């Protein structure tokens, strides 16, 4: 193997920087692909680096240099996916004009959605005992934090943190807090990468469970399956932020279920746990989450009537423009869902309960135009329920991150915290 000179190394670094820039720009523009045709062959791939020549290569794949006979050929699978989206029947799209019709629609779609995600456990003799254990209790300025473990179903345990404000009137209004992709629940309760306490609310999730406690509500922050301590050993050895959605979400699909269903069930069991705590008011419980936690919040609140209010951050969009056009984790997908409904139809199952949606103007994985479009559809559903005053969206000047400026007060108001 020949040695690489410093000049050649510099050229390689510069070329890799160009590739990274082009890749980011390509991802940002994918949101407008809903009606796109195939991308020109010379624009499909970043310019590769030719190590032998020490510079960019003109080769972009097996069709390099071929200009004839391809005018009517299409090689972009996302464009094909979007064609299929256009043709998808969405048989249970919202079309109701009266509240009675809307309630009948909700009942039908809720049953279909439960089927599509793979079903939820039905236990004739009652639910699996929670077997809760408090592992640790610590005092912080303004609140107490407990570390808890309980069982969701046979063979499945959940880790959670309970944050109880000192000045909260008990039993306290409570928010179930679900983090997005990252290190897991530590990233929303003020624990840094070394396991130390932090107060700067760092990261894209900004320790939103602490923000809930600071607003006077209790927070039960749960570790989603596939993150933090709920990972397989192979993924857990890689790094703290390494997700384990693969292979777990793929394993769910192999048995006809989904990771969404598994996580929704964890939220339902968290509600059962809250009901065992005298300091918490099980009749005043909401759910909130950012990104993948927003996914869980949307589906959980759509399917669980005990949830009184929801805050969905960095998620509400269209399947077309987000998970159907951009690279997303496998845990976002529900087989066959577009044959029946779009994302705003799922959110419509929450009506007339209060719903707050927040979306970043620069969110590059849940594009803002589609978020606004989807919210308009949700608001129309709420209008049929004569509950337009219970649904709000805040578009904030930021990227894919938790905001909470109007959302947390919205939760406190509707839970009378």
In this prediction, residue 122 carries a pLDDT of 76
In this prediction, residue 53 carries a pLDDT of 65
Give residue 160's region: left, alpha or beta (phi > 0; psi -120 to 50): beta
In this prediction, residue 334 carries a pLDDT of 97
| pLDDT of 14 higher than 80 | no
**Residue 305's pLDDT band (cuts 50, 70, 90):** very high
**Residue 127's pLDDT band (cuts 50, 70, 90):** confident
- Look at residues 314, 316, 366, 295 and name the one whose alpha carbon lies nearest to residue 206: 314
In this prediction, residue 54 carries a pLDDT of 67
**Residue 60's pLDDT band (cuts 50, 70, 90):** confident
Tell me the average pLDDT of the chain.
89
Q: How far apart are CA 298 and CA 292, in angstroms?
A: 10
C-alpha triplet 156, 298, 381: angle, nearest 5°: 150
What is 115-414's CATH number, 1.50.10.10, 3.40.50.2300, 3.40.50.1820, 3.20.20.140? Answer: 3.40.50.1820
Q: What is the per-residue pLDDT across 74-87, written as a single tens digit (0 to 9) for each?
A: 999 999 999 999 99
pTM: 0.86
If one compares 210 and 47, the residue with the highest pLDDT of the two is 210
Q: What is the mean pLDDT of residues 387-397?
A: 98
Q: What is the mean pLDDT of residues 395-414?
A: 97
| pLDDT of 28 higher than 90 | no
Exposed e or buried b for every residue in 272-310, given b needs 16+ CB within 10 A?
A: bbbeebeebbeebbbbbbbbbbbbbbbbbbbbbebbbbb
Residue 201 structure tokens: 């609310």
The answer to whether 362 touches 28, Cβ cutoff 8 Å, is no
% of the chain surpassing 90 pLDDT? 81
292-303 vs 99-116: helix crossing angle, rounded to 10: 120
Q: What is the per-residue pLDDT across 257-274, written as a single tens digit (0 to 9) for each?
A: 999 999 999 999 999 999
Give residue limits of the domains in the chain. 6-87, 115-414
The answer to whether 85 touches 338, Cβ cutoff 8 Å, is yes
**Residue 124's pLDDT band (cuts 50, 70, 90):** low
């Amino acid at each position: 193997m020949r040695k690489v000179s410093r000049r050649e190394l510099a050229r390689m670094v510069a070329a890799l920087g160009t590739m990274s820039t082009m890749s980011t720009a390509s991802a940002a523009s994918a949101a407008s692909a809903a009606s796109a045709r195939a991308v020109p062959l010379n624009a499909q791939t970043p310019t590769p680096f030719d190590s032998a020549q020490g510079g960019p290569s003109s080769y972009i794949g097996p069709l390099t240099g071929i200009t004839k006979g391809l005018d009517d050929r299409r090689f972009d699978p996302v464009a094909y996916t979007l064609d299929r989206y256009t043709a998808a029947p969405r048989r249970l799209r919202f079309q109701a004009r009266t509240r009675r019709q809307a309630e009948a629609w909700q009942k039908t779609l809720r049953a279909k959605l439960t089927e599509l995600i793979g079903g939820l456990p039905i236990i004739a003799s009652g639910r699996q005992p929670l077997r809760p254990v408090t592992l640790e209790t610590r005092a912080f300025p303004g609140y107490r934090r407990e570390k808890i473990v309980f069982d969701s179903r046979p063979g499945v345990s959940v880790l959670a943190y309970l944050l109880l404000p000192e000045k909260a009137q008990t039993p306290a209004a409570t928010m179930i807090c679900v983090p997005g992709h990252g290190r897991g629940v530590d990233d929303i309760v003020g624990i840094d990468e070394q396991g130390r306490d932090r107060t700067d609310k760092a990261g894209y999730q900004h320790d939103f469970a602490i923000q809930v406690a600071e607003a006077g509500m209790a927070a039960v922050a749960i570790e989603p399956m596939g993150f933090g301590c709920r990972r397989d050993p192979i993924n857990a050895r890689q790094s703290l932020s390494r997700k384990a959605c693969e292979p777990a979400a793929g394993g769910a699909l192999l048995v006809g279920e989904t990771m969404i269903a598994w996580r929704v069930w964890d939220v339902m069991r968290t509600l059962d746990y809250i009901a065992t705590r005298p300091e918490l008011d099980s009749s005043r419980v909401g759910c909130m989450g950012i990104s993948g936690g927003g996914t869980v919040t949307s589906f959980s609140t759509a399917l669980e009537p005990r949830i009184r209010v929801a805050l969905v951050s960095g998620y509400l969009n269209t399947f077309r423009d987000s998970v159907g056009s951009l690279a997303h984790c496998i845990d976002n997908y529900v087989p066959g869902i577009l044959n029946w409904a779009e994302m705003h139809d799922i959110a419509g199952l929450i009506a007339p309960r209060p719903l707050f949606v927040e979306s970043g103007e620069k969110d590059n994985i849940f594009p803002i135009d589609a978020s606004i479009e989807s919210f308009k559809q949700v608001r129309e559903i709420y209008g049929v329920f004569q509950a337009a005053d219970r649904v709000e969206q805040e578009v904030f000047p930021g990227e894919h991150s938790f905001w909470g400026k109007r959302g947390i007060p919205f939760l406190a108001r509707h839970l009378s915290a």
